[in-house]
Amino acid sequence: IPSLTSEIALIKMYGSEVLAISLNHENLDATSREEHKRRIEKETGLVAFYPLIDGCERAMDAVLCYMEREEKR
C-alpha cells in the first residue's frame, strides 16, 4: 500500500490539491483514533478528521481557506 504522503504527491502531480483527510474510525478506540489523527496531521500538515464523529467543520475551514487563497491569485 502506498504511503499517504506519496498519494498526496501523486494528486498534486495531476494539478489538484489535497485540503483535508477524512478518516475511518471503525475498529479504533477513542485513544487510538486521536493518536492516529494527530500522526496523520503531523505527517501531512493537513487537517485530518473523522466525519461521523468530528463532523466536517475543520474540513470546511480548510476549503474556505483554500478558496480565499485562490481568490487572491
Question: Is residue 73 predicted with pLDDT exceeding 90?
Answer: no
Locus of grid cell 474540513? 59
pLDDT > 90 fraction of the chain, expressed in percent and rounded? 99
Residue 53 burial (CB < 10 Å; 0-12/13-18/19+)?
exposed
Q: What is the pLDDT of residue 48?
A: 97
Q: What is the pLDDT of residue 9?
A: 97
6-38: per-residue pLDDT in tens?
A: 999 999 999 999 999 999 999 999 999 999 999
**Cβ neighbours of residue 21 under 8 Å, at least 6 residues apart?**
4, 40, 44, 46, 47, 48, 49
Q: How much is the pTM?
A: 0.85
